[in-house]
Chains A and B, each alone.
Chain A
């Protein structure tokens, strides 16, 4: 499968960002978490660009952040301080975990970008007052964007943006389904590449690329016949390590779905195009399964994971947790026991900035997959 465009973007996001900045008049707005309402950035005529924190050799960020912060936060700050994000016109920080919250402060003080915006969304997503507050925050975000990007954001701009993101989400989901039905096309790491690039790429370009890709895949993908390979669902915050797909693959497993905020959670949920735009955007977040830094009842996330494992006929679940990530680490024992109760085998892999050694990881996956 040819996904060179996507590979190039994730291979060197800074080069891509700078190139976009040079050729297009759209300001590029960075953001750090899937709770950032991209629709508003798009509606403001800007280009939403997700910051993943690619830096692994942390030097500059060490002056500002202790080593006990997650690789994502440290890597993002390093990128910013090293000038790898100099093409950004600004950054948006939604309130999610404590680490992102403080990253925003440190960023505002030390990274000189023209626009810094905190979108302090509610932490509870299951009450009427939190929904009203959510709306107020979106409205304030809209005004902040208008002011800083110096252009009005109308309802029709919002509708257009919603339509764009809905389509993109639909395509990404379709790709996930194709992979689910036939893990060989697209392969796990290809899907990873496309997903990740989708959050950085110009969305209009993306809109024209994705359908071509899908058409291609649909034409070539013969239905897989049953085989002995095991079906794996991955869960956790974010996957930063495409190698993991090939290691699981070598060990005899196929990652058929995930519950990552940089994966399936990104495209889940549809924004109602007939409703009042901001209200519809809020509703998508209120209805979507929550990230562990948010609250929606006491069993929402376990229910989701169990039903996901069932729906995707998973033989096993691999938790991929980023070291020093509090929200996910707190949820792990309860999610694990929910899976245990349903008889879904699972293992935990904790990664810091690097994956554990290839051989060691492969042995663990093999042992796990053999047992399934």
Chain B
């Protein structure tokens, strides 16, 4: 066995093992739900999971599954299967790979457990509406749609009223499918835990404001699994408490995510799951660290709208006003805030052909950010799961040129580069 590189070992995040254990247990529990009599709901990543926790329903996230498929490089095969089923190659690759998994039990965990219900919240895109309709037909199970009107420039009161009413409908739907009453006291508690988890997650991400950043966006992409899947539960709180402690520890010891952090970058859009390691090494070779991103912060981005003492009442705004459900100019503003907060030197945007709502508007965001903060930016054309849209040589060349540009700029302004 090769000697372990102590430098590398030092830099590894120790909590990862714990997270893997929690996720493995979570998927085991979900996959054996039929034996334990628990119900399983498939839910969109931006969907309101807390009421499911209240009802003891196991939430399963096809998008998280999609990310796993991408990371294990099984995307192309499944996407091709979906194309054989008649789904266009231009559709979201999370949707395509999930749809192809259903009849084949494919993917890294042999398919997701069969759903007893589907919960679709369109605050992230219109794709999920179509995707969940398809799965509702396939599994012949009830579908609840939480329709969160898009907030181009405002969140009008009629939208608030509509979403609030639907949350009542959601609860009635759950009572009906589960055959039991909704426990409003428990909802208070779950809501509080959800907020606590979100705050901890925010604190973990905030730790990257430190130089050198103790964790990178690439790490955040991995560690976000729990805030997505187990939001509103104690294990998520315990885990992020532990992870935060580790981050503080790393800060105290001066351990950074990359060996020599000279350049700090901001990432936009969903990760390119099958090339994360490569990307992180390519950037690290330039002494660059992706210190923050617009994606993982989505799971704590609406804390300002949520009320700890009235989670149910504030949930409408919390779910309707998330990052992907707002106008491009508002997104640009939030990006500028991230640039300032994390002190970044450059902006890397993944133009993700799978995700139109996340990608259309990026060119304008790029321009606005450049106008406001004058930092170089780079657009990488790819797809989050479907490797056929990734051209390594081309991207590497562009990264090299981009890094050179940043170094030049730093030299000009008299910073160490």
Contacts A106-B364, A123-B145 known; A333 to B152 CB distance under 8 Å? no
CB-contact partner of A331 in B92, B130, B165, under 8 A: B130
Quick check: is A47 within 8 A (CB to CB) of the other chain? no
Asked if B133 and A98 sit within 8 Å, CB to CB, the answer is: no
Assembly CA distance A368 to B243 (angstroms):
61
Asked if A98 and B357 sit within 8 Å, CB to CB, the answer is: yes
Asked if A120 and B130 sit within 8 Å, CB to CB, the answer is: no
Contacts A105-B327, A122-B162 known; A98 to B126 CB distance under 8 Å? yes
A337, closest chain B residue (CB): B86
Quick check: is A69 within 8 A (CB to CB) of the other chain? yes
Quick check: is A336 within 8 A (CB to CB) of the other chain? yes
Quick check: is A99 within 8 A (CB to CB) of the other chain? yes
B88 partner residues in chain A, CB cutoff 8 A: 321, 323, 329, 332, 350
Quick check: is B169 within 8 A (CB to CB) of the other chain? yes
Q: How many A-B residue pairs have CB under 8 A?
A: 142
Contacts A65-B363, A69-B356, A106-B364 known; A334 to B134 CB distance under 8 Å? yes
Asked if B152 and A97 sit within 8 Å, CB to CB, the answer is: no
B360 partner residues in chain A, CB cutoff 8 A: 65-66, 69, 98-99, 102-103, 106
Quick check: is A327 within 8 A (CB to CB) of the other chain? yes
B133 partner residues in chain A, CB cutoff 8 A: 295, 298, 330
B116-160 interface bits toward A, Cβ cutoff 8 Å, 1 = contact, 0 = none: 000000100111011101101100000101010110110010110
B126, closest chain A residue (CB): A98
B362 partner residues in chain A, CB cutoff 8 A: 66
Most buried by A among B149, B152, B327: B152
B364 partner residues in chain A, CB cutoff 8 A: 64, 105-106, 109-110
Quick check: is A224 within 8 A (CB to CB) of the other chain? no
Assembly CA distance A106 to B129 (angstroms):
23
Quick check: is A173 within 8 A (CB to CB) of the other chain? no
A127 partner residues in chain B, CB cutoff 8 A: 169
Interface size class of B (residues with CB under 8 A): 35 or more
Most buried by A among B133, B328, B363: B133
Q: By the criterion of a CB under 8 Å from any partner CB, how many residues of chain A are at the interface?
A: 50
B95 partner residues in chain A, CB cutoff 8 A: 330
Quick check: is A101 within 8 A (CB to CB) of the other chain? yes
Assembly CA distance A295 to B145 (angstroms):
9
Most buried by A among B90, B126, B159, B162: B126
Asked if A95 and B150 sit within 8 Å, CB to CB, the answer is: yes
Assembly CA distance A127 to B172 (angstroms):
14
Assembly CA distance A146 to B125 (angstroms):
31
Asked if A293 and B126 sit within 8 Å, CB to CB, the answer is: yes
B152, closest chain A residue (CB): A118
Quick check: is B351 within 8 A (CB to CB) of the other chain? yes
A123, closest chain B residue (CB): B147
Quick check: is B22 within 8 A (CB to CB) of the other chain? no
Quick check: is B353 within 8 A (CB to CB) of the other chain? yes
Asked if A123 and B122 sit within 8 Å, CB to CB, the answer is: yes
Asked if A326 and B153 sit within 8 Å, CB to CB, the answer is: no
Quick check: is B91 within 8 A (CB to CB) of the other chain? yes
Asked if A66 and B353 sit within 8 Å, CB to CB, the answer is: yes
Contacts A66-B353, A118-B153, A298-B137 known; A326 to B328 CB distance under 8 Å? no
Asked if A326 and B127 sit within 8 Å, CB to CB, the answer is: yes
Assembly CA distance A130 to B166 (angstroms):
9
Asked if B162 and A133 sit within 8 Å, CB to CB, the answer is: yes
Quick check: is A215 within 8 A (CB to CB) of the other chain? no
A333 partner residues in chain B, CB cutoff 8 A: 85-87
B136, closest chain A residue (CB): A298
Asked if B126 and A120 sit within 8 Å, CB to CB, the answer is: no
The residues in B between 46 and 96 inclusive whose CB is less than 8 angstroms from any CB of A are 85-88, 90-92, 95
Query: A residues engaging B (CB < 8 A)?
Result: 63-66, 68-69, 95, 97-99, 101-106, 108-110, 118, 120, 122-124, 127, 129-130, 132-133, 136-137, 140, 292-293, 295, 298-299, 321, 323-324, 326-327, 329-334, 336, 350
Could you jot down 10 A-B contacts, CB within 8 Å?
Answer: A64-B364, A68-B359, A98-B127, A118-B150, A120-B150, A132-B165, A140-B158, A298-B133, A326-B92, A329-B87
